[in-house]
Chains A and B, each alone.
Chain A
Amino acid sequence: DAKTTQPPSMDCAEGRAANLPCNHSTISGNEYVYWYRQIHSQGPQYIIHGLKNNETNEMASLIITEDRKSSTLILPHATLRDTAVYYCIVRVGGSNYKLTFGKGTLLTVNP
C-alpha cells in the first residue's frame, strides 16, 4: 500500500470548515483513499473513501486531485465532537482489508 503524509496537528474554530490534507504521491491506479478518525480511547471510525472522483456523505467531503497524488478531507461545519485523530489511508480495494495506519492528524476544534 502507498505511503501517506499528513500534518501532525491542526486547529479549527467551531462552526468553520476543517480542511485536512493528505499527500500520497506514490499511489497506484487501483488504490483507494480512505479516511478514518479516532476519538480519544475509542476505536477508529470510518468517514469516507474514494478512487478518483470527489465524494460526499453525511459526515464529510473528499476532494482528490486530478493526478491523485493528494487529497483533502473537508468537515463543512466542525463541532467540538469532531476533535480527533484523522487517518488518511491508501489501500487496494478488494478482499484484503488490511489498513495501514500512520500517525494521522490531530484535529482540535476550538470553541
Chain B
Amino acid sequence: ETGVTQSPTHLIKTRGQQVTLRCSSQSGHNTVSWYQQALGQGPQFIFQYYREEENGRGNFPPRFSGLQFPNYSSELNVNALELDDSALYLCASSPQTVLNTEAFFGQGTRLTVV
C-alpha cells in the first residue's frame, strides 16, 4: 500500500468520448505525475503537477490535460478518445521538497476505448 489511490479501477469508453481519471496523492506529497502504460510497454510520462501548476510534459497531444487541486489530488482528462488511448493510466506522487526520493505509484486505472 503506497497511500496513492486512483479511481475508477476500470473504465470502458467509446471512441470520441471524454474521460476523467482521478488520483489522491500520498499524505504530504505535493507533486503528482501521470503515466500511460500500453500493453507490453513500460510506463510513459504524460505530465507532472506541482502546487497546482503543470511542471513538465511528455510527448502527448493537448487533448491530454490535467488539474491539481489545493489538497494535491489530481485529475487526468482525455478528450476525443482514440482506440490507441486504451492503456493502464498510472498516477505517482512524491514530496517535491525532498531531493532524490522515490515516487509512489497507485494501482492504476485500466481504460478501454471501443
Give the interface of A toward B (CB within 8 A).
32, 34, 41-46, 49, 85, 87, 93-104
Contacts and interface: CB of A to CB of B under 8 A. Distances in A.
Contacts, number: 66
Among A43, A44, A101: residue with most chain B CB under 10 A: A43
A34 to B, nearest CB: 7
Contact of A97 (B41, B94, B106, B107): B94
Contact of B102 (A49, A98, A100, A101): A49
Q: How big is the B interface, by class?
A: 20 to 34
Given A43-B2, A44-B43, A44-B90, A97 B31 contact: yes
B32 to A, nearest CB: 9
A46 B106 CA distance: 12
Contacts of A94: 99-100
Interface string B29-55: 001010100001111110010100001
